[in-house]
Amino acid sequence: MTQDTTSPRGVRLSPDECTLYVSQSDEDTPGKRELRAYPILEHGAIGPCTVLHTFGADHRGPHRGIDGMCLDSEGNIIACAGWRRSGPGPLIYVFSPEGRVLETHPVPADEPTNCAFGDPDLRTLYVTTAEGHLYRVFNTGLRG
C-alpha cells in the first residue's frame, strides 16, 4: 500500500474512513518517527502521506515515536509514545486529526505500547507498557 513506511506500529482508520493514520517508528538513527495521514482515494488506493507530527532527537538520542494508538469519539488520535532515555519521557499524546498536540499525559512506567477505550461507556482508557504494566485510567474527559 505504501513504499515510504518501513516500521509501521499503530494503524487506524479515521471515523469517516477517508484517512489512514500510520505511525512510522523507526528507532534507528537517523530513522523517521512520524505520525502520518494517508488519504484513501475513491478507487481504494492510498494517496501520498501528510506528516502530522515528527518526533525529533536530543543530546541523548532519538525520541521514541508512536507504538500504538486509538481514536476517541471526536476523531482525535490517542497515542502511546516516548521513553525515559531521551525526549520528554513516556507519554500519552492526544492529537487533533490535523496533527496538533492537544494534550500530553505522563505514564508512570517506561515505553507505553498501546491504548484502547473500554468499559460500557467507553470513557476508561486502558494503557499497556513494554515493562508489562496495564493501566486503567478513569475520568480522561475522552470517550472512545
Of 98 and 29, the structure prediction assigns the larger pLDDT to: 98
Residues 6+ apart with CB under 8 A from 45: none
Which of helix, strand or coil describes residue 122? coil
In the predicted structure, residue 1 carries a pLDDT above the cut 70: no
Query: Which domains does the chain possess?
Result: 8-137 (2.120.10.30)
* Angle (CA) 129 28 30, round 5°: 130
* Residue 121: active-site member: no
58-116: pLDDT as tens digits:
888 888 999 999 999 999 999 999 999 999 999 999 999 999 999 999 999 999 999 99
Catalytic residue among 67, 72, 110, 121: 67
